[in-house]
Chain A
Amino acid sequence: EAGVTQFPSHSVIEKGQTVTLRCDPISGHDNLYWYRRVMGKEIKFLLHFVKESKQDESGMPNNRFLAERTGGTYSTLKVQPAELEDSGVYFCASSRQFDTQYFGPGTRLTVL
């Protein structure tokens, strides 16, 4: 089966700009998760979708981050306006039930 895909793989933007990250989960996986890893630190949970509904968004840093999953398929994570501290690798993962999560390759975001 095809794995989780993310687009773009890299994004370099200037402070104040907007960036939208996309995640396509494994087909049939209702659960979709967003994580972020800042260099050298742990992978931190951002939020969790079950189908199109936000199940848990306790990890979202602030209201500059907006995640959507219209139709319960792919998801987008928008950062507007981006700040320097938003730099990091954003991972998406999906799972069928509440079990093994399969990660995407990540999007490396650099805010200058």
Chain B
Amino acid sequence: GENVEQHPSTLSVQEGDSAVIKCTYSDSASNYFPWYKQELGKRPQLIIDIRSNVGEKKDQRIAVTLNKTAKHFSLHITETQPEDSAVYFCAASSSYIPTFGRGTSLIVHP
């Protein structure tokens, strides 16, 4: 089955800095890669996703890159703000059931 590794487990940055979270996957058949953000006490929410026919996707301050050959994908957040503080989960799927990483706790210090 699919195995997703996510790093780092904790990331602490100063407001305004960039943050990068990296994930690797094992199943070359995976073709859909969503990222979820879970704020404290709230539900995981999809913030961006990418499919395997695309190498990069941007949405304002967040971007995701995908390297199919190396089987890794990354989330980039620029100009971080305190409200970006949350747990971020990457996932990979070849069907409708995503395999999630363990999550990265991002802390943005004002």
Contacts and interface: CB of A to CB of B under 8 A. Distances in A.
Interface of A: 3-4, 31, 33, 40-45, 48, 56, 91, 95, 98, 100-106
A98 B93 CA distance: 11
* In the complex, the 5 A-B pairs of residues with the closest C-beta atoms, listed nearest first: A98-B96, A43-B100, A105-B43, A103-B44, A42-B100
B93 to A, nearest CB: 10
Given A100-B46, A103-B43, A48 B96 contact: yes
Contacts of B100: 42-44
Contacts of A31: 96
B37 to A, nearest CB: 11
Interface of B: 4, 34, 36, 41-46, 49, 89, 95-103
Contacts, number: 44
B63 to A, nearest CB: 19
22 contacts: A3-B43, A31-B96, A33-B97, A40-B102, A41-B102, A42-B4, A42-B99, A42-B101, A43-B44, A45-B98, A48-B96, A95-B96, A98-B95, A98-B96, A100-B34, A100-B49, A101-B46, A102-B46, A103-B45, A104-B43, A105-B43, A106-B43
Contact of A42 (B34, B41, B43, B102): B102
Given A48-B97, A91-B44, A105-B43, A43 B89 contact: yes
Instruction: Give the most central of B36, B46, B96, B101: most A CB within 10 Å.
Output: B96
A45 B93 CA distance: 12
A105 B43 CA distance: 4
A54 to B, nearest CB: 13
